[in-house]
Amino acid sequence: MEHEHIIEGNIVTPTGIIEHGVVVVRGGKIVDIDQLPRSLKARVVEDEAVEWVLPGMIDTHSDAIETEMQPRPGSLFPIEVSFHELERKLAAQGITTIYHALSMHADQSSSWARRNDTVKRLILDIRKLSRQHSLIRHRLHLRFEITNLTAVPYVEELLGSESIEQVSFMDHSPGQGQFRSLEHQKKLIMSKLALSEEQADDVLAKRMGQPKVNIEELARLAAVAKNHGIPLASHDDDSIEKLDLMRNWNVAISEFPVELGVAIEAKQRGLAVVMGAPNVVLGKSHSNNVSALEAISHGAVDILCSDYYPPSMLQAVFCLYRSGISMVDAVNLVSLNSAKALRINDSLGSIEIGKTADLLKIREYRQTPAIQEVYVEGNLVCQMSYRKLAMGTIGK
């Protein structure tokens, strides 16, 4: 007989909330969703906490694996160690499906993790590790920097072999996208590379003179992605003209549009618009671009991703909920909408009968969400029990 789980709480479905509900899980699938019997509804949760049941979160764009491998410039940890340590963190943060965003930046990139050969090897290693034993579901998102001329054959090979599940075209050249402000980029270079202003000016000049992969070659790679059913994303859209170009390539996702008007236009054109969850939590963009909260208020955001800070996903959901946005809409930004854009919504992304049981049990206490249980395919992969400390005992 298949093992059965019964998970109780306020259940967030794609269209509403079932208060005092139960989700029944059997064989890794959701087999029933119902309300608790009336006799049990009167139970009071300790400490006036609210218990929620959410779908597991789907992170479409996360750079976390790079930081996990190389937390300091001179420290490089093996992928086998980094992979398992990172997924423990992600499970505890409610992320049940992760799209590792690996950046193919340049053959001679100062970052070891962003060199062509390294990225290809990491993709193969992550695929292998995820098939052996893992807590959560791992997918690959290849970020292709279009100034990386030598990467074209790598990208074509990875697309053709279906070794990745998402690809994005990026251009971080000075003067466009998130780096429209040369002054802002110069300060970033000075801070990150510990350079003088004069040295940073030299770096900017070199970057501005970099050649780029031609339009015809990019169109060909876009066609390969389409033929293999791999969603293609644009990155840092900063103009309507760029959206026009993306439309010619069947781009489905607009990541981090830098202006409100561009985000609204991308949404109207049917693109899935992605913004960073850290932007929501912090209330602003770290690159001085459009505020995610402002874009959400205009209905111009479909998806929130962790970008560079995985804990922000769950925090953003409750931040939006506290600001007056419905819990359903907030949750869909990190689950169902992501699944739709990445074409996995037939089995993932929401609490519905017949779907895979990726579920989160969350206790909200004094407006602070705390993960209690995390299920992936019906398996309990993470459980946390918080101690209750009496007043006066803290710190002893």
Same domain, 151 and 105: yes
Per the domain annotation, does 262 fall within a domain? yes
Three-class secondary structure of residue 152 per DSSP:
helix
> Are 373 and 238 contained in the same domain?
no
- Please tell me whether residues 305 and 364 are part of one structural domain: no
Whole-number mean pLDDT of the chain?
A: 89
- The larger pLDDT score, comparing residue 207 to residue 68, is at 68
Total count of domains within the chain? 2
User: Which H or E element spans position 129?
Assistant: helix 116-132
Exposed/middle/buried for 74, CB within 10 Å: 0-12, 13-18, 19+?
A: exposed
Q: How far apart are CA 154 and CA 142, in angstroms?
A: 11
Distance of alpha carbon 363 from the chain centroid: 22
Contact criterion met (CB below 8 Å) for 61 and 338: no
Question: What pLDDT, on a 0 to 100 scale, did the predictor assign at position 42?
Answer: 47
- Residue 184 is assigned to a structural domain of this protein: no
Q: Which residue would you say has higher pLDDT here, 196 or 52?
A: 52
Q: What is the DSSP string of 342-361?
A: TT-TTTSSS--TTSB--EEE
Is position 181 within any domain? no
Same domain assignment for residues 157 and 280: yes
CATH classification of the domain holding 16: 2.30.40.10
Strand partners, 98: 59, 138
Of 87-96, 144-153, 207-216, give the lowest mean pLDDT range. 207-216
Q: Same structural domain for residues 41 and 11?
A: yes
Q: How far is CA 295 from CA 4, 151, 165, 282, 323, in A?
A: 42, 34, 27, 14, 14
Residue 350, in any domain of the structure? no
Residues 145, 128 within the same domain: yes
User: CB-based burial of residue 263 (10 Å sphere; 0-12 exposed, 13-18 middle, 19+ buried)?
Assistant: buried
What is the predicted pLDDT for the residue at 289?
A: 81
In a domain, 392, yes or no: no
Domain that holds residue 100: 57-173+210-341
Got the DSSP string for 189-247? HHHHHT--HHHHHHHHHHHHT-----HHHHHHHHHHHHHTT--EEEES--SHHHHHHHH
Question: Are 154 and 64 within one domain?
Answer: yes
Measured CA to CA, the distance from residue 227 to residue 250 in angstroms comes to 11
Residue 331's pLDDT is: 98
pLDDT, tens digit (0-9, with 9 covering 90-100), for 257-304: 999 999 999 999 999 999 999 999 999 886 668 999 999 999 999 999
Query: pLDDT by residue (tens digit) across 162-192?
Result: 999 999 999 866 556 555 555 666 566 666 6
Q: How far apart are CA 94 and CA 58, in angstroms?
A: 9
Instruction: Note whether 14 and 152 are same-domain residues.
Output: no
Residues 378 and 255 in one domain: no
User: Which region among 39-53, 54-68, 264-278 has the lowest average model confidence (pLDDT)?
Assistant: 39-53
Give yes or no: residues 334 and 360 share one domain: no
SS3 89: helix
In this prediction the pTM is: 0.90
Give mean pLDDT, residues 343-362.
98
pLDDT of residue 137: 98
Tell me the CATH number at 321.
Answer: 3.20.20.140
Task: Check residue 184 and give its pLDDT.
Answer: 63
Q: What is the pLDDT of residues 315-331, one digit of tens each?
A: 999 999 999 999 999 99
Please indicate, yes or no, whether residues 109 and 228 belong to a single structural domain of this protein. Answer: yes
**pLDDT for the residue 352:** 98
Residue 102 forms part of a structural domain: yes
Question: pLDDT tens digits, residue range 210-269?
Answer: 788 999 999 999 999 999 999 999 999 989 999 998 888 999 999 999 999 999 999 999
Q: Are 15 and 59 in contact (CB under 8 A)?
A: no
Report if residue 198 sits inside a domain: no
Separation between Cα atoms, residue 346 and residue 83, nearest integer Å: 27
pLDDT at 346 over 50: yes
Indicate the pLDDT class of residue 44, thresholds 50, 70 and 90: very low
Residue 28 lies in a domain: yes
Which pLDDT belongs to residue 192? 65
Going by pLDDT thresholds of 50, 70 and 90, the confidence category of residue 368 is: confident
The fraction of the chain above a pLDDT of 90, given in percent, is: 72
Residues 73 and 21 placed together within one structural domain of the fold: no
d(CA 210, CA 222): 22
